Amino acid sequence: MNVQQFQRVLKQVLDELLEDMMDSTNHPNDPFVRQSIPNIKTVLQELPAWPTTWDVNNGLCIEFADRVVREVPEAIVRHDEGPAAMGHWFVEFQGRFYDAESLEGVGYYWQLPIYTVNRAKCRADVLEDRGVL
């Protein structure tokens, strides 16, 4: 599989996950969340621009990575490590790193948007930066 084919798979997986998030009655598949907020679907769908790639990277990043690897077994699920780790999961393919907000890939995982332009920003700040709010 070449990089362009891989990027098409990333886009397909992302689109499917966003659709699942829109249709789902729970987010993520966490019993605590479902118990705490019985109307979670209504609450989440009332968020501006729900769902976004930011939402995937901040709660469903492992789901995204797992789905990609199911489609492309030669891809590798990775997790950040070290004292500055944020608990983020992403995919490595042919020496580049990918997540829901970086379908073009980066040379080093710490160059992913979650570690750079979106670091320490809440959802509203990122959507404002993108001109959505």
Q: Give the 3-state DSSP-derived string for the chain, with helices as H, strands as E and coil as C.
A: CCHHHHHHHHHHHHHHHHHHHHHCCCCCCCHHHHHHCCCHHHHHHCCCCCCCHHHHHCCCHHHHHHHHHHHCCCCEEEECCCCCCCCCEEEEECCEEEECCEEEEECCHHHCHHHCCCCCCCHHHHHHHCCCC
pLDDT exceeds cutoff 50 at 26: no
pLDDT exceeds cutoff 50 at 100: yes
Q: How many CB atoms lie within 10 A of CB 106?
A: 17
Tokens 């019985």 sit at which residue? 38
The per-residue pLDDT of the chain, averaged, comes to 84
What's the pLDDT at 42? 59
pTM: 0.82
CA–CA distance, 10 with 68 (Å, rounded to integer):
6
pLDDT digits (tens, 9 = 90+) for 48-93: 777 889 989 988 999 999 999 999 999 999 998 866 678 899 999 9
Residue boundaries of the structural domains of the chain: 3-129
Q: Which residue has the higher pLDDT, 12 or 40?
A: 12
What's the pLDDT at 25? 47
Contact (Cβ atoms closer than 8 angstroms) between residue 99 and residue 111: no
16: pLDDT confidence band, cut at 50, 70 and 90?
Answer: very high
